[in-house]
């Protein structure tokens, strides 16, 4: 996991939201503070639990609303690793993920699929939205 800030240097949370066309309410700023202070992979429930632990007054519905909004606006990326866990990744730059099916760990890996290969094969009448690469791994022996 990359521990650098997910925010470009010198850019605060409010700016980050405003520039994405998101009205910076107090809940959104607080959740953004949790999500964007470093690259990480969190589930909706983990975000909710962290928020509560930090004393932020927010409901589960708002956590989901906000996560979906951030995804729509390109600030977060959703990663589907199995039927019961959606992760939200604050690193929206192209990269792969390792998913350990034994312990649920999700880690990053440099890499991207050749654009031209994909563009040449796009189904008729569609445009590219994103590429998700999940490499499933198991603990050895």
Which stretches of the chain bind DNA, using CB under 7 A? Answer: 23, 25-28, 43-45, 57-62, 64-66, 68, 83-86
Q: Which of residues 9, 53, 116, 139 is near a copy of itself by CB under 8 A?
A: 139
| Interaction of residue 9 with a copy of itself, rule CB under 8 A | no
Using an 8 Å Cβ cutoff, are 47 and 98 in contact?
Answer: no
With a CB cutoff of 8 Å and minimum separation 6, the contacts of 83 are none
Q: How far is the CB of 24 from DNA (least distance, A)?
A: 9
CA dist 85 and 81 (Å) reads 6
Report 46-105 residues binding a copy of itself (CB under 8 A). Answer: 78, 80-83, 86, 96, 98, 100-101, 105
Listed residue (46, 29, 56, 40) closest to 6, CA to CA: 40
What are the φ/ψ torsions at residue 11 (nearest 5 degrees)?
A: -125, 120
Q: Which residues bind a copy of itself (CB under 8 A)?
A: 78, 80-83, 86, 96, 98, 100-101, 105, 107, 109-111, 113, 117-118, 121-123, 125-140
């Amino acid at each position: 996991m990359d521990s650098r800030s997910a925010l470009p240097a010198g850019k605060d949370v409010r700016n980050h939201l405003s520039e994405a066309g998101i009205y910076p309410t107090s809940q959104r700023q607080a959740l953004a503070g949790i999500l964007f202070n470093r690259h990480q992979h969190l589930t909706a429930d983990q975000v909710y639990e962290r928020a509560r632990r930090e004393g932020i007054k927010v409901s589960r519905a708002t956590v989901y609303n906000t996560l979906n909004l951030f995804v729509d606006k390109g600030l977060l990326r959703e990663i589907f690793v199995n039927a019961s866990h959606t992760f939200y990744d604050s690193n929206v730059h192209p990269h792969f993920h390792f998913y350990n099916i034994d312990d649920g760990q999700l880690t990053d890996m440099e890499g991207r699929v050749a654009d031209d290969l994909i563009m040449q094969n796009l189904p008729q009448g569609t445009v590219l939205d994103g590429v998700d690469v999940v490499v499933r791994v198991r603990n050895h022996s």
